Amino acid sequence: MSMLDSPETYRQLDPSGMLGHLRQFPEQCQRAWHNATDFGFPRDYVKVEKVVIAGMGGSAIGGDLVRRLAMIENTLPVWVHRDYGLPPFVDRNTLVIFSSYSGNTEETLSCFSDSLRTQAKKMVLTTGGKLKALAEKERIPVLTIDYEAPPRAAFPHSFVSLLGIFHSLRFLQDKSADMTESLGVMKRIEDSVSEKTPLDSNLAKQLAADLFGRLAVIYGAGQLTEVAQRWKTQINENSKAWAFYEAFPELNHNAVVGYQLPAETRQRAMALLLHSASLHPRVSIRYQVTSEILTKAGVKHKTVEAIGKSPLAQMIGLVLLGDYVSFYLAMLNRTDPIPVPTIDHLKSRLAESL
């Protein structure tokens, strides 16, 4: 029997409870949706011309997905700011959303501090920390996340809360039906990839087994570009493993030339191609041809198909699948998915320099 089919594996290797967060993923998405759509926004917040979402890591990826949805619908420009300071184009016609799960992310706090010298409209998405205290002092609206988890496991709140904000402020088309579809898609995926579903019929366990001991490279396109990025970061943090991501069609102009060398990397790499039937037909042809090139180069690879009709359902469904893949890969790597001691050390060293 595979170790991924043994309950003892999860008792021993997941003492911090990442599996519990995965099980709550659909429920937390629904909760975040209601919290955001029930929030009372200042009336003038609908009168903006652009949005900046400031955040890092697990608190920023939700902004990336919302930005993609805005691009698909050709609505107002959205910029995801992963840095200190404030983008120079921020003005009175900009809404800046500060997303920090802990409320203590120093880059986001820097951006918040600089924003106080502008007439931009502002709001905060956080559990608390310095950011919430400062926002309340300045009478800036705060949408509070009431869910205790590592920031990356709070994705339903970092993404769906933003989705609810954009829905409520009419920055996106009505997302109620898409959200209902997405909950159904998540339920289907969860039922098929839970730890109780055996390896021979569990796609997430199979993909984790394919990635075990290999360099993970995740490909995406269109609405799945940021999903590929999420897979990459989850493999980094949960599985404690190297991973990279790239996007079609750009990768066809460079990455495909690099499959040959070094030979050791080619032989130890595993490419996962996240695909949707709703992508541009020319992009889908690129998936097919790239798969042929990978085969010729001797690079192991698989295509993973999104399910659902709406871009939202496809995106959030594949995010959930990828989270399970990274969790099972952590089990195969015999590591607890939740602790990130290297990041903790880095933050500690940065704090010493203040």
The Cα–Cα gap between 321 and 325 comes to 6
Annotated catalytic residue 347: yes
The Cα–Cα gap between 272 and 100 comes to 30
Query: Which residue do the tokens 């409870």 mark?
Result: 17
Count of C-beta atoms within a 10 Å radius of residue 108: 28
Count of C-beta atoms within a 10 Å radius of residue 265: 15
Rounded to whole angstroms, the maximal C-alpha distance in the chain is 62
Residues 8, 148, 196, 253: which is the catalytic one? 253
The Cα–Cα gap between 237 and 304 comes to 21
Residues 122, 237, 275, 301: which is the catalytic one? 237
Q: Are 305 and 276 in contact (CB under 8 A)?
A: yes
Q: Are 95 and 82 in contact (CB under 8 A)?
A: no
Catalytic residue numbers read 237, 253, 347
